[in-house]
Structures are given as C-alpha cells and as structure tokens.
C-alpha cells in the first residue's frame, strides 16, 4: 500500500470529522435543531450497533454474536455496570462458539 | 484541559478502560491482518496513527488484499467514514469551543467517543467523556497495532474471544439512556431496521447512513421531548404502523433480532396508538419537508 493511498484516506477521514464541529461553530443552531442532531446521532449509533450485532460482510453474522449482544442489552437495561455489560457480551459469544455455535 | 480532569470520575475511567481493552484486542488483530495482507509493520502503524478509524482500516486493507485498486479501497473507506460528518454536527462544541480543540479533537472522533459523550447529560461531563474515551482509544489502538503486527497471526481469530459482540453491547449500554425518550427510540429503531434490511444490498457504510430516514419519525417532537409526560403524546403522532417499515422488516437480514429490550422488533411503537390521534391518518401521506414546516407551527402547542 502506497503512502499516498494512506494519506488520501487519512485526509478524507479527518475532513469528514472536522466538518461537523466547524460548521456547528459558524452557524446559529436552534434548540430544536440541536435536539434533532442528537436524535440523528443516536439513530446512527443504534443502526451501527444493530448492523454490527447481526451482520458480517453483508450476510448474517451467526447466532453467537447477537446472543452475546442480547445478554449485554438485558444487563444494560437492568442498569448493570458498563464493564459487566461488555464482558458478559464477549463471554457469552465466546462461550457459545466454544460449544460449536458460530 | 484541567477542568476535564476535575470532571472525570472513577466509574467513567473504568468504563473507558473496559472499552480501551476491547479496542486494543481489535487493534492487535488489525496489525496481524495487515502484515498477513503484505503491509509492513510501519505502514500499518502509520495508517493507524493518521486514519484512526478501525472499520475503514480493515476495509481498505481487505479491498486491497482482495485485488481491488487503491481508488476503490479509499472510496470504500471514506464511504464507511461518512457517518462522522453527522456525528460531528451533533457534537458541536462538545470537544471545546476553541479552534485548536476542534482541530485536535476531531481526530479522535470515533463511534465510541461520540457514544460516550452523548450518554452524558451535563455538557462539561460530555466534554470530559469525549476526550477521555477518544484519547484512551487512540492510546490503546496504536501500540496494539504494532504488537499485533509483531505477533503476526499468533492472536488468531479474535471472534474466539467474543470481542465482536463487545462493541455492539457497549453501544447498547451507551445509547440506552437516550432511547428512554419515546420519539428518539422510535427514530433509532426504525432507522436500525432500515439499516439491517439494507445491509445485504448496499455497500458497507451506506446502510447506517440510510438509517437517518428514521429521524423523520422524531420530527414532531423536539420541544415536547424535554417534558417527559408529553413524550407519549408526541409518540402517537408518528406511529410507525402505517409507515414504510413493516415492508422492510421482512428483508433478509432483519429476522434474527436479539431479544433484548432495545433490540426487540416490536419495541419501537404502540400500534394501538395509531387510532388515538385524529391526525395520524394524514400525517404519513405528507412529505418530510411539509412535516418539518408543520413542526415549526406546532411547537408552541403544549
């Protein structure tokens, strides 16, 4: 991989990251718009977690991962500590794979 | 910066630590994979330092290893990173008001730092959470890439450790507080359904962006959302039962939704509520822009 490829990817990624904060600093954003942007961000993160939990390379990811995420989700819903949520999800997926479930 | 250190507390550090550990494992596997794909350790490290976006890094190396050209690889990586733009818009001044804070802070804008910041109510705490999680992720990711590259493929498939389940679970924990608001939950879950349904047919990165369609379903809300009791009333305005979602839910990837409270497929709306509001029938026949204009007039309502 050439240095140019890396640099173009880095520059593009950085500009995408910087554009948001800079634009927000220049324009007056109403409270209502601010709420909508927060909802948009939550929507993106939720979509990200669902696609990451269920899919792999455009197909179904197998049962172990969604099962692990579901265990983590239940724990999070019951207000378990963040660390417990993350570790329980990983252990569940790892355990199911040990048992032969992909 | 000093105010950040006064604002962070042990629970936040512990949470960030847990995430940083998971990030390190993935970073190590990136290093190992990059070397296996023919990159030098230095190229892998350089890429990790200047790009610092795990998903895009895996994708670019994967596309190149599969014989795709550099242009295709970069386009695919940038497509995946397009979501950073709306993330940055939502964050606004969270990184800090100054230009320097934004110039530096933007480099550690990743899914996890955004989620950590959005999970805080207090702006001061949000800023602390953003910086601490972003910097911790950076410090965990890059050394791990070197270790992974050095260890070659010793680590093997990280799926064995279940790390692939850790990240979605962490995001669940982080977005859950925001999802307790009915309209946000509706927007997020409709968006997620759209994204999962679109995943088999669209290139990576696009399905998640398509999820922004869900935000339309939160439009009648903003003012009311801050007054808990009225959120339920706002919820009825945009009941998803007659929207485009049920058709999409039959799409290929949507079937095995995990049974968690967030993930439950019917958790996003109260179907019976559709008839309770006289305007619901016409609400969905309008376009998003009309409805947006509508919201302008409606806000003083409650």
Selecting from B61, B162, B167 the residue whose C-beta is nearest the C-beta of A52 gives B167
Minimal CA separation from B222 to chain A, in Å: 5
List CB contacts (< 8 A) between B24 and chain A: none
Over range B220-229, report the average pLDDT: 53
DSSP lists the bridge partners of residue A60 as: A55
d(CA A8, CA B156): 30
- The residue with greater pLDDT, B145 or B243, is B145
Q: What is the pLDDT of residue B246?
A: 33
Q: What is the pLDDT of residue B219?
A: 79
Q: Write a three-state SS string for B159-213.
A: HHHCHHHHHHHHHHHHHHHHHCCHHHHHHHHHHHHHHHHHCCCCCCCHHHHHHHH
Q: Please check the confidence at residue B116 and state whether its pLDDT lies above 90.
A: yes
CB pair distance less than 8 Å for B253 and A72 = no
Average pLDDT of chain B, as a whole number: 76
Minimal CA separation from A26 to chain B, in Å: 10
Q: Please check the confidence at residue B229 and state whether its pLDDT lies above 80.
A: no
Q: A59 phi and psi, to 5 degrees?
A: -120, -175
Residues with Cβ < 8 Å from A12, sequence gap 6 or more?
B74, B77, B78, B81
Tokens matching residue A49? 């977690």
Over range B11-37, report the average pLDDT: 91
pLDDT digits (tens, 9 = 90+) for B126-184: 999 999 999 999 999 999 999 999 987 676 777 788 888 998 999 999 999 899 999 99
Selecting from A10, A18, A59 the residue whose C-beta is nearest the C-beta of B200 gives A59
Is residue B33 very low, low, confident or very high in pLDDT (cuts 50, 70, 90)? confident
CA distances from B70 to A29, B45, B55, B111, B289 (A): 38, 18, 16, 25, 39
Q: Please check the confidence at residue B68 and state whether its pLDDT lies above 70.
A: yes
Q: Taking a C-beta distance cutoff of 8 angstroms, is the pair B163, B22 a contact?
A: yes
Q: Please check the confidence at residue B299 and state whether its pLDDT lies above 90.
A: no
Q: How many CB atoms lie within 10 A of CB B6?
A: 9
**Nearest chain B residue to A11, by CA:** B51
**Nearest chain B residue to A73, by CA:** B260
pLDDT more than 70, % of chain B:
70
Q: What is the pLDDT of residue B67?
A: 81
Q: What is the pLDDT of residue B243?
A: 35
CB pair distance less than 8 Å for A24 and B88 = yes
- Residue B226 is given by DSSP the state T
Q: What is the pLDDT of residue B168?
A: 92
Residues with Cβ < 8 Å from B49, sequence gap 6 or more?
B142
Is residue B204 very low, low, confident or very high in pLDDT (cuts 50, 70, 90)? confident
pLDDT digits (tens, 9 = 90+) for B259-284: 333 333 333 333 333 333 333 333 33
Question: How many A/B residue pairs have CB atoms within 8 Å?
Answer: 355
List CB contacts (< 8 A) between A45 and chain B: 111, 114-115, 118, 171, 174-175, 188
Entry pTM: 0.72
Mean pLDDT by 10 residues, chain A (102 residues): 92 96 84 89 94 92 96 96 92 95 90
Of the listed ranges A68-82, B144-158, B196-210, B233-247, the one predicted with least confidence: B233-247
Mutation site for A-interface testing, chosen from B87, B89, B268, B299 by largest number of A Cβ within 10 Å = B89
Minimal CA separation from A100 to chain B, in Å: 11
Phi/psi class of residue B126: alpha, beta or left (left: φ > 0; alpha: ψ in -120 to 50)?
A: alpha
Q: What is the pLDDT of residue B2?
A: 54
DSSP lists the bridge partners of residue A55 as: A60
């Amino acid at each position: 991989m050439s240095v140019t490829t890396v640099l173009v990817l880095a520059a593009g990624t950085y500009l995408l990251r910087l554009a948001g904060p800079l634009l927000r600093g220049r324009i007056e954003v109403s409270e209502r718009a601010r709420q909508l942007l927060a909802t948009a961000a939550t929507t993106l993160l939720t979509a990200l977690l669902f696609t990451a939990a269920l899919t792999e390379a455009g197909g179904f990811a197998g049962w172990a991962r969604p099962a692990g995420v579901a265990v983590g989700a239940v724990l999070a819903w019951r207000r378990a500590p963040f660390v417990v949520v993350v570790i329980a999800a990983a252990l569940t997926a790892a355990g199911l794979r040990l048992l032969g479930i992909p | 910066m000093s105010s950040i250190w006064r604002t962070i507390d042990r629970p936040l550090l512990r949470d960030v630590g847990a995430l940083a550990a998971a990030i390190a494992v993935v970073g190590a596997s990136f290093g190992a994979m990059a070397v296996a794909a023919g990159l030098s350790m230095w190229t892998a490290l350089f890429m990790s330092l200047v790009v610092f976006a795990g998903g895009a890094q895996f994708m670019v190396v994967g596309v190149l290893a599969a014989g795709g050209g550099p242009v295709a690889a970069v386009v695919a990586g940038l497509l995946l990173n397009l979501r950073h733009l709306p993330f940055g818009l939502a964050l606004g001044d969270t990184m800090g008001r100054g230009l320097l804070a934004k110039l530096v802070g933007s480099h550690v804008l990743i899914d996890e730092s955004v989620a950590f910041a959005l999970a805080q109510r207090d702006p001061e705490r949000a800023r602390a959470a953003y910086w601490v999680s972003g910097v911790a992720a950076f410090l965990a990711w890059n050394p791990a890439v070197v270790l992974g590259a050095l260890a070659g493929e010793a680590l093997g498939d990280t799926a064995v450790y279940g790390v692939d389940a850790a990240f979605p679970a962490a995001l669940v924990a982080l977005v859950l507080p925001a999802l307790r608001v009915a309209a946000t939950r509706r927007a997020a879950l409709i968006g997620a359904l759209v994204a999962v349904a679109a995943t088999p047919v669209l290139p990576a990165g696009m399905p998640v962006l398509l999820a922004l369609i869900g935000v339309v379903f939160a439009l009648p809300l903003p003012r009311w959302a801050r007054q808990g009791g009225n959120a339920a009333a706002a919820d009825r305005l945009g009941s998803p039962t007659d929207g485009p979602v049920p058709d999409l839910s039959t799409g290929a990837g949507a079937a095995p939704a995990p049974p968690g409270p967030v993930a439950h497929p019917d958790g996003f709306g109260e179907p019976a509520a559709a008839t309770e509001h006289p305007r619901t029938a016409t609400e969905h026949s309008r376009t998003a822009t009309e409805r947006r204009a509508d919201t302008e007039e409606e806000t003083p309502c409650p």
